[in-house]
Amino acid sequence: MNVPRPPKVAGIDSTVPAPPHTTAPLPGVPPSASPADAALPPGILIQDRLASWVSDLTTLHELTERLIKTSSLDGALREVLGAGAALVGARRGMAVLEPADGLGPTSTIGLGLAHADLGTIETVPHGPGSHGRLLDGLPEAGPTAPGPSSAHPASGPSSARPAPGPSPTRPAPGPSSARPARVPEPIAIRDVRTEEGLDPRHREVAARLGYAASYALPLATEESGRLGAAVWFYDEPAEPDERRRHLIGLYGRFATEHLARLLQVERARVRVATVAEELLPSRLPRVPGVRLAVRHLTGPQGGGDWYDALPLPEGALGLAVGSVSGTGPSALAAMGRLRASLRAYAVMEGEDPVAVLSDLELLLRLTEPARSATALFAYAEPAQRRIVLAGAGHAPPLVVGDRRTEFVETSLSAPLGMLTCWEAPSVELSPAPGETVLLYTDGLLRRTGDATDRTFARLHAAAASVPEADRSDPGAVADHVLRTLLPEGLDPAVEGEDVVLLAARFE
């Protein structure tokens, strides 16, 4: 009598015939058969293997879910270090971000290691060091030969040396397009004291920091190239077994792809911030009777907030802040055109801020009818401590002094581009000696996340609470207001408007 056998599941137990619909085992999956398993009934063996696989998949799912929630490179590296330490069974580790293209950014993050410890590890020469060899091993991105990833390095004392045959870090002879560089394999050092070929400095650093073994994983894929490397340290001689190496290999490939996406976002943010800064004044002018300071914080996509300060004839000074609708390169381009136009109008008729903004309204309506903007222009005569200003849909300035902290009463006006003809009366004020006038964009108010009334109240309270010792420095006044309203700073991962704060202290 034939006993029915359980069906084959994903290649487990090759002695059990597979039904026609079952696929071949996935490449890189650790072999399931062993002498000990052969003595177990097939059903028990299948249950154990399935339970182990479900547990591993659940662990990887949880770790990758946590990783994709990170929105910064440093946060992602810290998550990779923590998850990797759990997967390989280590307590400490270090991750190095060093893209192969040399365009940066670069950083080093430690787990269970102080800043001085990271500096000590960096004194190990790259050649003999594990993570250093990985950083030097993959110059650029490129396809590699098909097959499982390097998740199964040789174990034992020789695991720190490449396997026999062609070097995994250099292409074989022939055209580079046919045999491109491959992703280097992880490097396991089971015992630093007995490992052959290690630099004496490596052993000295290991003894000083108290680790006896390490496992280094390249943060690299064929598509992304080399982004960096992660290394975990063991307190005793050890190395991860085949299952742990397989899991950390899968996780490492996913982590590298996530880091590559964050790297693109960070580089784009830096480029946008650089363009925005180039479109704004490189330095503030020096005009007798007034001291200036500005703070400009840029979001990830770059907004259209801008500022300007330009000297005018007879010792006068033109101050302006504004915001263009939209974000990204188009908003930056529109901001540059608007600011350049306002400078020209300010030189021609700066004594009349209403005329300056009226000309700007006409230009915007004729050249970019689908875009709106807010602006505030102030014509200042520091010697007389006199300011004449006009605003188009912009928040009112704030005067900060020893005896008063109050908003300037400006007329209510629509933004530029919203009316067929813009005109609003100007306002004149006379700051007292030692008072600071704060001009700011709407981004400062909206970044707080509060309602408009509450935001204005918070801004007034922040300006009123400036310490007396800081009121003589317009930069210190601006910094205090920003710290009070945005205690965590401007999160670069959160889309939103830029923040501009221009401070003018009259002597």
- pLDDT tens digit sequence for 20-71: 333 344 444 445 445 555 565 667 777 777 888 888 889 899 999 999 999 8
| CATH assignment at residue 106 | 3.30.450.40
What distance in Å separates the CA atoms of residue 185 and residue 183, rounded to the nearest whole number?
7
Q: What is the CATH number of the domain that holds 431?
A: 3.60.40.10
Distance separating alpha carbons of residues 107 and 259, to the nearest angstrom = 13
Confidence of residue 165 (pLDDT cuts 50, 70, 90): very low
**Domain carrying residue 123:** 41-142+149-160+181-268
Asked whether residue 170 is assigned to any structural domain, the reply reads: no
Give yes or no for residue 145 having a pLDDT over 70. Answer: no
Alpha-helical segments (H) within 350-401: 353-367
CB 218 within 8 A of CB 229: yes
What is the sign, positive or negative, of the torsion defined by CA atoms of 260, 298, 272, 104?
negative
**Whether residue 493 has pLDDT greater than 70:** no
Six-digit token pair at 152? 């199964």
Q: Are 254 and 300 contained in the same domain?
A: no
Contact yes or no for 378/387 (Cβ under 8 A):
yes
Q: What is the CA radius of gyration of the chain?
A: 32
Highest mean pLDDT among 139-143, 279-283, 428-432: 428-432
CA dist., res. 209 & res. 212, Å (int): 9
Q: What is the pLDDT of residue 229?
A: 92
- Asked whether residue 25 is domain-assigned, the answer is no
Q: What percent of the chain has pLDDT over 90?
A: 46
Asked if residue 289 has pLDDT above 90, the reply is: yes
Q: Is residue 402 part of a domain?
A: yes
- Name, of 95-104, 142-151, 465-474, the range with top average pLDDT: 465-474
Q: Which of 186, 239, 258, 238 is nearest to 217 (CA)?
A: 186
Predicted local distance difference test score (pLDDT) of residue 137:
62
**What is the C-alpha to C-alpha distance for residues 331 and 169, in angstroms, rounded to an integer?**
44
85 and 91 in contact (C-beta within 8 Å)? yes
Instruction: Please tell me the predicted confidence (pLDDT) of residue 148.
Output: 36
Tokens of 344: 């020209």
How many residues are recorded in the chain? 507
At 105-137, the pLDDT tens digits run 999 999 999 999 999 988 888 765 667 777 776
Q: In this structure, how many other beta carbons lie within 10 angstroms of the beta carbon of residue 378? A: 26
Answer for the pair 184, 168: CB distance below 8 angstroms, yes or no: yes
- As a whole number of Å, the end-to-end CA separation of the chain is 107
When comparing pLDDT for 277 and 213, which is higher? 213
Q: What is the pLDDT of residue 422?
A: 64
Q: Do 397 and 479 share a domain, yes or no?
A: yes
CA–CA dist 309, 350 (Å, integer)? 12
Whole-number Å distance between alpha carbons of 110 and 232:
10
Q: How confident is the model at residue 464 (pLDDT cuts 50, 70, 90)?
A: very high
Is 373 inside a domain boundary?
A: yes
The count of domains in the chain is: 2
How far is residue 173's CA from residue 452's CA, in Å, rounded to a whole number?
67
- 29 belongs to a structural domain: no
Would residue 259 count as lying in a domain? yes
